[in-house]
Amino acid sequence: MGFLGRKGPPLAYNSPLPWPTHGRGVQGEGLVLLLPLLFLIVFFYAPLANLLGEGLTQDGSFSLEFIRKILTDDYFQYVILFTLWQAFLSTLASIALGLPLAYILTHYEFPLKRVVRSLTIVPFVLPAITVALGFALLFGRNGYLNQFLMHLLGLSEPPLPIMYSLAGIVLAHAFYNAPIITRTVHAAWERLDPRYEESARALGASRFYVFKDVTLPMILPGLLSGAALVFIFCFLSFPIVLSVGGGRFSTIEVEIYTRVVTRLDPQFLNYKIGAALALIGLTLSLGMTYIYLRLQGSFARQTEHLRPRPTLPLFAGIKDFLRPTKLLLWFYVLGSVLVFIGPILAIIADSFWEDTPTGGRWTLRWYAYIFTPNYEALLGDSPMQAILNSVSFGLGATAIAVPLGLILAYVIARLRWAGRRLFDTLLMAPLATSSIVVAFALLRAFNAPPMRLVGTATAVIIAHSVIIFPFVVRALVPILENLDQRLVEMARSLGASRWRALREIELPLVATGLIAGSIFAFALSLGEMSATLMLARPGLNTMPVAVYRFLSQHSLGAPSAMSVVMIVVSALAFLVLERLGEKALKL
């Protein structure tokens, strides 16, 4: 066994590899390792390289003309700067919403705490179109909140112009990504030995100075790790900016989609511009991904606390309720309910409501509609088929991503060499690539014989597999790194082959995390819309795409009912995941 920094061969291992280094099985077992690499090369790296190459060529030869045109054009400069600015503001808003919740989960006990903790991640896997629908129903000009305030205050104009504004984009991104901050900071906070804070308080430090000088420096790696990941997701955001921001705002991803899908371009110049924009965006996001992985490595090396952290009851009587710190917590809880629960409640309420000439009535009509097997011209199939498509595509993508992700996670967890961080970053490249760019690359690579996949279920499943693949790897690496390798060594010393030790010792020990990672991957696939919208033909609609199609109707009842189904499935998935353990949720 070797360790980082040891003199000798450039590649060393901190434990036996999952394949033998000699003997009859080398060739066949070596191919197992090549499977995930081959999958990524064929369906991600090669199509992406082909796409990016289009942005670096002109008239068949290498050229930086399209890159130069983008970087010197005032409009494109604004698009790039706005993409970075809205991602920065969205990250700050996510921290502002997620950090206090991490504090509450770490320091207080209250009924259904485990349920609340598990449900905090549900917004992260909800389709962006569902979030946009919820924000329109709650914060729109005719939304529930503005209507309530207008009646309460006697106003003639909506007092909160949130939709179709930068504030709406930032708030929607915070809805999506604050749970990431909550989970990473909560995990870091729980690891801290409470004796550090108790010692500072015993020496006379106030709560504020204890947090500023003791707690914050120790949870900072977790906070920065979560913030870096949130920035990446906000930077790559497409549906939120397009739907909540309206036509006033454009980011790199929105600009790519607009030029590739919505504009007729006989000379393919927009394809070239789109490819060059994808190259610029990918360069920036890959840099942030490298920073995130460095921060996550620092976060993972933190020492765990030596004794359980004491907690206090959140509800401790009326006198405790009126304390200034508790009043601030209650104001935060009310604001969080409005931001997190409000849009979901608005969708649920609208799914049971039908407008009538006399005002409206409660109904189950929309649920009967989305579960009907009857043909719907708007979808090119039945709404029920969209539900079945989502489930089948999710299962297919999970069946591909999980075993391939397990192989690479095992390699990442076991290898120690100087270029490991760069290798890890390259493997996480799909994480730094938006689903729009992934779909665009597959569209250009597999739109002609001999591998014409565009417009088929196979293309959608492959795209989903590429998108969820990094999350599977990130979920399994910490579990495999913490596995006690002495158990494997003991089995080997007793005569077990390497494959038998893997099959009978290691896999059972990581089975819970593997199942949890599978559920997480399935939920992410269930909510994916952008790639499906670009690659699928009519009849291959999924639930998120059906919601998008239904929004063209006068009533929002059908998209609300379909969104409720996705919310329920996601919530159930994460309730099961919480029971299986939280390690798989550590991105």
Q: What is the DSSP letter of 234?
A: H
Could you tell me if 286 and 432 lie in one domain?
Answer: no
218 domain-assigned: yes
Tell me the torsion sign for CA atoms 350, 355, 359, 365: negative
- Dihedral class, residue 59 (left if φ above 0, else alpha if ψ from -120 to 50, else beta): left
Could you tell me if 442 and 312 lie in one domain?
Answer: no
Could you tell me if 312 and 416 lie in one domain?
Answer: no
Could you tell me if 434 and 547 lie in one domain?
Answer: yes
84 domain-assigned: yes
In the numeric block, the tokens 């639930």 are attached to 543
Could you tell me if 315 and 387 lie in one domain?
Answer: no
The CATH number covering residue 318 comes to: 1.10.3720.10
d(C-alpha 18, C-alpha 507), whole Å: 11
550 domain-assigned: yes
In the numeric block, the tokens 């003309």 are attached to 65
105 domain-assigned: yes
Which pairing describes strands 312-313 and 108-109: parallel, antiparallel, or unpaired?
parallel
Per-residue burial over 134-155, b if 16 or more Cβ lie within 10 Å, else e, is bbbbbbbeebbbbeeebeeeee
User: Which are the contacts of 514, defined by CB distance < 8 A and separation ≥ 6?
Assistant: 402, 406, 476, 507
Distances (CA, A) of 498 to 25, 26, 217, 492: 11, 12, 43, 7
Could you tell me if 298 and 396 lie in one domain?
Answer: no
569 domain-assigned: no
Could you tell me if 115 and 264 lie in one domain?
Answer: yes
Question: Number of C-alpha atoms within 13 angstroms, CB side, residue 339?
Answer: 27
Could you tell me if 324 and 398 lie in one domain?
Answer: no
What single letter denotes the amino acid at residue 172?
A
Residues, the chain: 587
The pLDDT tens digits along the chain (587 residues) read: 332 333 333 333 344 444 443 344 444 445 667 888 899 999 999 999 988 888 888 877 888 888 998 999 999 999 999 999 999 999 999 999 999 998 888 888 888 787 777 777 777 777 788 888 898 899 888 888 988 889 888 888 888 888 888 999 999 999 889 988 998 888 888 877 788 877 888 888 887 888 888 888 888 888 888 898 899 889 988 888 888 887 788 899 888 888 877 655 545 567 788 888 888 988 888 888 778 777 766 655 554 545 667 777 777 666 666 677 777 888 888 888 888 889 999 999 999 988 877 778 899 999 998 888 888 877 778 888 888 999 899 999 999 999 998 888 887 777 666 666 667 767 778 877 888 889 889 988 888 777 888 888 999 999 999 999 888 887 787 777 777 677 777 777 777 776 777 777 777 777 777 887 788 888 889 888 888 888 888 788 899 988 888 887 767 888 999 999 988 887 777 667 666 554 444 44
77 domain-assigned: yes
Distances (CA, A) of 234 to 71, 130, 383, 528: 21, 17, 31, 16
Q: Are 297 and 477 in contact (CB under 8 A)?
A: no
d(C-alpha 103, C-alpha 557), whole Å: 37
Tell me the torsion sign for CA atoms 63, 67, 69, 72: negative
Could you tell me if 425 and 534 lie in one domain?
Answer: yes
Other C-beta atoms closer than 10 Å to the C-beta of 92 total 15
Domain count, the chain: 2
Could you tell me if 410 and 541 lie in one domain?
Answer: yes
Q: Is 564 exposed, middle or buried (0-12, 13-18, 19+ CB in 10 A)?
A: buried
Helix axes 557-580, 543-550, angle to 10 degrees: 150
Q: How far apart are the first and last CA of the chain?
A: 28
The residue among 177, 186, 191, 188 whose CA lies nearest residue 228 is 177
- Which residue range is the domain that position 514 belongs to? 379-554
108 domain-assigned: yes
351 domain-assigned: no
In the numeric block, the tokens 């499906």 are attached to 532
